[in-house]
């Protein structure tokens, strides 16, 4: 075959379409494409981190950590956003260039990170979305299995959803019947002495009595707040006096985090 010679008078002739591609998008559209590309890369990074964390059997924060699974989710998401906020994996840049024909300026994202925080009182209406992806640890689920009979009994006696009881137990003690908090709350449902006594619990360390007493108290909270689960959980965690004082969920980070965790566990249990 003879050599094919091409005479090209304009070196850029074969790239004449590139400016046309660039001009298809306004600056606002390019900003949206850039953000979407970064979000996609962040999501992929979070999935990779989650997969890596699963190789550690007792989780990132240890088997006995209360709320460790919730903070693992936050950690994974925040790490993913931090990684992708810079040069990241390079995937966002490749996607952006494929669509627009231009290079992505990653420096514009370095100062766009939101600080790690729990939703404020004004944003509580979106808390169900915040609960998405919060999964109980494998160890807490395994410990919970041995109490199924007691949970079933308590659910029937007091008319409380079985999944809600389980979710409260996981959030309170991770299924550890011997758990004691810094406030001296005890057992599976973390009953303080005064609450245990008022609910007729004679031995707070007995799993059945603890579950029955905790469920009875939870049912009282649900009745007091007309079935509003968030207010009932707020009352269970912070006390009904604080719910009344603030005319709703108290602005305590611990309480808001607690509600988010319980709802997350509840959503997970409904899916399995």
What are the catalytic residues?
172
SS3 239: coil
Q: Are 255 and 238 in contact (CB under 8 A)?
A: yes
Strand ranges (E), the chain: none
Ramachandran angles phi, psi of 203, nearest 5°: -130, 100
Largest distance between two CA atoms of the chain: 99
Ramachandran angles phi, psi of 249, nearest 5°: -65, 125
Q: How many other β-carbons are positioned within 10 Å of the β-carbon of residue 142?
A: 11
Q: Output the CA torsion sign for 156, 160, 164, 165.
A: negative
Q: Are 89 and 95 in contact (CB under 8 A)?
A: no
Q: Which residue has the tokens 């707070």?
A: 204
- Among the listed residues 260, 237, 266, the one whose alpha carbon sits nearest the alpha carbon of residue 250: 237
Q: Are 188 and 169 in contact (CB under 8 A)?
A: yes
- Rounded CA-CA distance 185/195 in Å is 10
Q: For residue 265, list its beta bridge partners.
A: none
């Amino acid at each position: 075959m003879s050599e094919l010679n091409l005479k090209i008078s304009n070196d850029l002739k074969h790239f004449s379409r590139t400016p046309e591609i660039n001009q298809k998008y306004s600056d606002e559209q390019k900003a949206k494409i850039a953000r979407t590309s970064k979000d996609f890369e962040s999501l992929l990074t979070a999935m990779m981190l989650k997969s890596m964390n699963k190789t550690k059997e007792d989780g990132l924060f240890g088997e006995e950590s209360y709320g460790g699974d919730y903070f693992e989710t936050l950690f994974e998401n925040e790490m993913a956003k931090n990684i992708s906020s810079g040069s990241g994996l390079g995937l966002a840049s490749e996607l952006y260039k494929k669509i627009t024909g231009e290079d992505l300026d990653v420096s514009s994202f370095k100062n766009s990170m939101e600080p790690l925080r729990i939703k404020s009182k004004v944003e509580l209406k979106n808390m169900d979305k915040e609960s998405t992806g919060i999964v109980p640890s494998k160890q807490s689920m395994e410990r919970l299995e041995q109490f199924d009979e007691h949970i079933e009994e308590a659910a029937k006696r007091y008319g409380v959803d079985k999944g809600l009881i389980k979710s409260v137990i996981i959030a309170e003690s991770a299924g550890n019947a011997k758990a004691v908090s810094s406030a001296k709350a005890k057992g599976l449902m973390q009953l303080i002495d005064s609450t245990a006594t008022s609910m007729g619990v004679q031995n707070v360390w007995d799993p059945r009595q603890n579950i029955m007493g905790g469920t009875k108290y939870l049912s009282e909270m649900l009745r007091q707040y007309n079935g509003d689960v968030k207010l009932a959980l707020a009352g269970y965690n912070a006390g009904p006096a604080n719910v009344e004082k603030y005319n709703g969920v108290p602005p305590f980070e611990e309480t808001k985090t607690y509600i988010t965790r319980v709802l997350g566990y509840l959503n997970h249990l409904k899916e399995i």
